[in-house]
């Protein structure tokens, strides 16, 4: 592994009496792409929000470059499941909100953000409003907005969940392309196991009640990756392996939710 | 579709006016009870020529604008206070909600006693009618700020102040505008009724004076002018809403 970027140790989170996260510990290297999969309600979002500093932990700590996380900061960029764009702002002004809030919204930030919009494939749409964009395009703005603060770590919570299957696949290859160019450290939450395998260096498989890491699967597939990889037997083997790990848990959570 | 509905609406208005004309001319045929549209047009023309009409309109406009502007500013401030401070909310909420539901227009005669027959008793009535819906809408608008958007801003390290100015305020704008729009109709009613209670000039005074003299054409002239003012201002407001808060349309 490269130099450690993010270190989580003994992390616990309780909501009242409910223990949602129990003793999570993991070290993530600089530039690593990590996915998190697990049954619904196992605390993936909560984990990500704690790393983002949006939620306080009940025990343990999160360190970034050996500094304990105490709150949100522009060293981390959050890509939300719902794009959370401000409807009265144009694409460009939405993407610029991070620099603006942290007091760095100058001409340089603007030209950098323009480049980012180009990078995510939105050149020419800078002046559009969110309501004029498709779901896929809105998620691209969401991503560009997180990148605009040039974070060291990208935190992504099911960013493609609301997209149709084709758009999702395209966004996956786009994300890889963008990641290859900057090699940020990425924490990516998803329900799609094939998405996790396709994108990641390692996959954290969470178990539920309470949420914890059940297994860490190293994805030893060559890079750069493209969609044809998804049709190889090696790829299928990883998907099966991970599915086998969470199958019982998922079955259980589906049954519980039905009650 | 759109063009079609415009044609239908126009036809409906023209048809209505025609029926009105026919009824008042041939069925009732008594200028003491009902004036026909053509008589009203003539009345407006004559009142306009003599200059009396402009005097009435000027006074009523002055009272309305003064009351409306004061009430809007006051209402937004009250709404801000109620949304931002728990103490302010506990103190103000019962009064604002209570007075909003009260027909404060009934206090007109009291204001007349306090402030005399001049414009200020009318301005005060307008204020009491307009201020509360504006205050309540502003408060609701500020309080319904999306928690997801708040979290988005927080993730970039935004302060409370930044969240207020970059998020709460713009997302409350449609609510504030809706409150202001509601205020137009209420304010117009306030002006007229307050003038009916006692005044030296104004469209309400024209109405009561015409009623006393059984001058139906003049009475209707004042009503039509008031209706037009209400319709034009409300339409203007809708236009403004489309420009200022276009994202609320979908
Ligand atoms: N603010 C909160 N207060 C109380 N309980 C909460 C809160 N947030 C989350 N929880 C609970 O914590 C558990 C984990 O929630 P979380 O959203 O992290 O799960 P998740 O793994 O992201 O699920 P999903 O895959 O459905 O998004 C759930 O049981 C949820 O009900
Ligand atoms: Mg979640």
Task: Give CATH superfamily name and number for A4-75+154-258.
Answer: P-loop containing nucleotide triphosphate hydrolases (3.40.50.300)
A81 lines ligand 1 (CB under 6 A): no
How close B162 gets to chain A, by Cα (Å)? 7
Interface of B with A (CB under 8 A): 148-149, 151-158, 162, 166-167, 170, 245-247, 250
Residue B128: pLDDT over 60: yes
Sheet containing A59-64: order of strands: A18-29, A4-15, A59-64, A67-68
Confidence of residue A103 (pLDDT cuts 50, 70, 90): confident
- Residues B198 and B117 sit within 8 Å (Cβ to Cβ): yes
Q: Which residue has the CA at smallest separation from atom 14 of ligand 1?
A: A43
- Residues A11 and A61 sit within 8 Å (Cβ to Cβ): yes
Please tell me the predicted confidence (pLDDT) of residue B126: 94
Please tell me the predicted confidence (pLDDT) of residue A101: 92
Q: Could you tell me the residue ranges of all domains in chain B? A: 1-30, 38-249
Is residue B155 reached through a cis peptide bond, with omega within 30 degrees of 0 on the bond before it?
no
Please tell me the predicted confidence (pLDDT) of residue B2: 59
pLDDT by residue (tens digit) across B142-187? 999 999 999 999 999 999 999 999 999 999 999 999 999 999 999 9
B144-168 burial string, b = 16+ CB within 10 Å, else e?
ebeeebbbbbbbbbbeeebbbebbb
pLDDT by residue (tens digit) across B22-80? 998 888 877 777 888 888 999 999 998 888 889 999 999 999 999 999 999 999 999 99
B-chain residues near A71 (CB < 8 A)? 157
pLDDT by residue (tens digit) across A12-38? 999 988 889 998 999 999 999 999 999
Q: Is A175 on the interface with B (CB under 8 A)?
A: no
A-chain residues near B167 (CB < 8 A)? 86
Residue B3: pLDDT over 80: no
Nearest to A97 among B156, B245, B247 (CB): B156
The class level of CATH for B38-249 reads mainly alpha
Domain ranges in chain A with CATH number 3.40.50.300: 4-75+154-258
- Nearest chain B residue to A90 by CA distance is B247
A43 lines ligand 1 (CB under 6 A): yes
H-helix or E-strand containing B114?
A: helix B108-115
A-chain residues near B149 (CB < 8 A)? 84, 86
A15 lines ligand 1 (CB under 6 A): yes
- Tell me which residue has tokens 């494939």: A121
Confidence of residue A253 (pLDDT cuts 50, 70, 90): low
Please tell me the predicted confidence (pLDDT) of residue B102: 85
């Amino acid at each position: 592994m490269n130099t450690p970027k993010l270190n989580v140790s003994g992390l616990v989170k309780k909501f009242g009496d409910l223990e949602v996260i129990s003793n999570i510990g993991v070290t993530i290297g600089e530039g690593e792409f990590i996915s998190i999969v697990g049954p619904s309600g196992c605390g993936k979002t909560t984990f990500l929000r704690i790393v983002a500093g949006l939620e306080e932990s009940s025990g343990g700590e999160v360190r970034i470059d050996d500094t304990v996380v105490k709150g949100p900061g522009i060293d981390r960029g959050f890509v939300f499941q719902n794009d959370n764009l401000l409807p009265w702002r144009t694409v460009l002004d939405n993407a610029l909100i991070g620099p603006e809030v942290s007091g760095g919204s100058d001409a340089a930030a603007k030209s950098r953000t323009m480049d980012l919009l180009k990078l995510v494939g939105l050149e020419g749409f800078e002046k559009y409003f969110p309501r004029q964009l498709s779901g896929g395009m809105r998620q691209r703005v969401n991503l560009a907005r997180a990148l605009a603060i040039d974070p060291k770590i990208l935190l992504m919570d099911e960013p493609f969940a609301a997209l149709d299957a084709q758009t999702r696949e395209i966004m996956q290859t786009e994300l890889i392309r963008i990641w290859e160019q900057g090699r940020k450290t990425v924490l990516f939450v998803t329900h799609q196991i094939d998405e996790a395998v396709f994108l990641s260096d390692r996959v954290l498989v969470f178990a539920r009640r309470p949420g914890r890491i059940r297994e860490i699967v190293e994805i030893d597939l060559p890079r750069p990756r493209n969609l044809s990889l998804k049709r190889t037997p090696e790829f299928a083997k990883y998907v099966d392996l991970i599915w086998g790990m969470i199958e019982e848990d998922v079955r259980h959570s589906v049954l519980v939710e039905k009650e | 579709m759109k063009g079609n509905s415009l044609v239908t609406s126009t036809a409906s208005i023209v048809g209505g006016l025609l029926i009105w004309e026919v009824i008042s001319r041939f069925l009732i045929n008594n200028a003491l009870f009902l004036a026909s549209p053509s008589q009203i047009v003539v009345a407006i023309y004559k009142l306009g020529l003599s200059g009396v009409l402009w005097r009435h309109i000027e006074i009523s406009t002055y009272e309305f604008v003064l009351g409306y502007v004061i009430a809007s500013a006051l209402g937004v401030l009250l709404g801000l206070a109620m949304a931002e401070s728990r103490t302010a909310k506990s103190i103000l909420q019962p009064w604002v909600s209570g007075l909003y539901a009260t027909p404060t227009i009934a206090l007109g005669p009291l204001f007349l006693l306090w402030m005399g027959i001049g414009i200020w008793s009318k301005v005060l009535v307008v204020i009491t009618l307009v201020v509360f819906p504006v205050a309540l809408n502003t408060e609701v608008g500020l309080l319904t700020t999306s928690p997801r958007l708040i979290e988005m801003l927080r993730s970039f390290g935004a302060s409370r102040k930044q969240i207020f100015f970059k998020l709460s305020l713009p997302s409350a704008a449609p609510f504030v505008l809706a409150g202001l729009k509601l205020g137009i109709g209420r304010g117009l009613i306030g002006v007229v009724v307050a003038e009916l209670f006692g005044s030296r000039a104004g469209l309400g005074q024209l109405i009561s004076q015409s009623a006393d003299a059984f001058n139906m054409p003049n009475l209707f002239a004042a009503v039509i002018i008031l209706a037009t003012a209400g319709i034009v201002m409300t339409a203007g407001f809708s236009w403004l809403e489309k420009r200022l808060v276009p994202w609320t349309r979908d």
